[in-house]
Structure 1
Amino acid sequence: MDEKVLIVEGTSDRKRVKKVLDEPVDVICTYGTLSNEKLETLIFPIEDKDVYILVDADDAGESLRKQLKRELPNATHLYTQKGYGQVETTPIDYLTEVLRGYFHVKQ
């Protein structure tokens, strides 16, 4: 398993970030807010990894971010601009800049 883990909300977000990433990263989809059981299942295998969180800049995304912040206090939080709203609609150039500080990205 990869040492870096990027948590996103959905499959469209996963596809979007994979277009930018130029290194092996385990991109995990939460499919929205997590139940306690699903949260536990998600967290256990990644506790010792470098975890990054990139969720939508909307109410649902912020709710998920708060939930993950409580359970993964050492995770690094990455943000898209509110004007872009969702990760999947964030321009590739902007997404590249957001990820560049933490991952190898395509030029």
Structure 2
Amino acid sequence: MEECSDKVIIVEGLTDKKQIEKVIDEEVTIICTNGTFGVERFDELLETYDLDHRDVFILVDEDQSGQKLRKQLSNELPHAEHIHVSSEYREVATTPESFLATVLVSKHIAVNPLFLM
């Protein structure tokens, strides 16, 4: 495993990851799928990150490709919790930090308190 954290957030791209990293205030593994998700890639992620034994959160864009990825991931990881950004923002990368902080803290992920004001 790359990092030693019980929590994993699965996102679509690097800009999503960077936006989340600005807000969180604890060690969380953030996995980028790069928008593609095949069986082989999933098996690799499952083994590398031990996803069956960790708290997994799915945070993808509120667009067609994000919803398709969310459906695939929830079929493969039924224990995963879903985090949604507002359809007003559509993309994780463009969601304001304060909104992201609020939805992340609701899932018991520590965030920088400055973003909760």
* TM-score clears 0.5: yes
Q: 1:103 aligns with which of 89, 104, 109?
A: 109
Structure 2 length as normaliser, TM-score? 0.89
Q: 1:34 aligns with which of 28, 33, 37?
A: 37
Q: Distance in 1 between matches of 2:62 and 2:87?
A: 5
Q: 2:76 aligns with which of 66, 71, 79?
A: 71
RMSD: 0.8
Match of 1:49 in 2: 54
Match of 1:91 in 2: 96
Q: CA offsets per residue over residues 5-58 of structure 1, 9 Å max, x none?
A: 011100000000000100000011000130110011112322100000100000
Gaps of 5+ in 1: none
Gaps of 5+ in 2: none
Q: Distance in 2 between matches of 1:24 and 1:84?
A: 26
Structure 1 length as normaliser, TM-score? 0.97
Q: Is the 8 A contact 1:52 1:76 kept in 2?
A: yes
Q: Percent identity, aligned pairs only?
A: 44
Q: CA offsets per residue over residues 54-99 of structure 1, 9 Å max, x none?
A: 0000000000000000000000000001110100000111111010
Question: Are 2:26 and 1:20 aligned?
Answer: no
Q: Is the 8 A contact 1:33 1:60 kept in 2?
A: no
Q: Is the 8 A contact 1:32 1:60 kept in 2?
A: yes
SS at match of 2:93: helix
User: Following superposition, which runs of at least 4 residues in structure 1 exceed 6 angstroms of deviation?
Assistant: none
Question: Are 2:20 and 1:11 aligned?
Answer: no
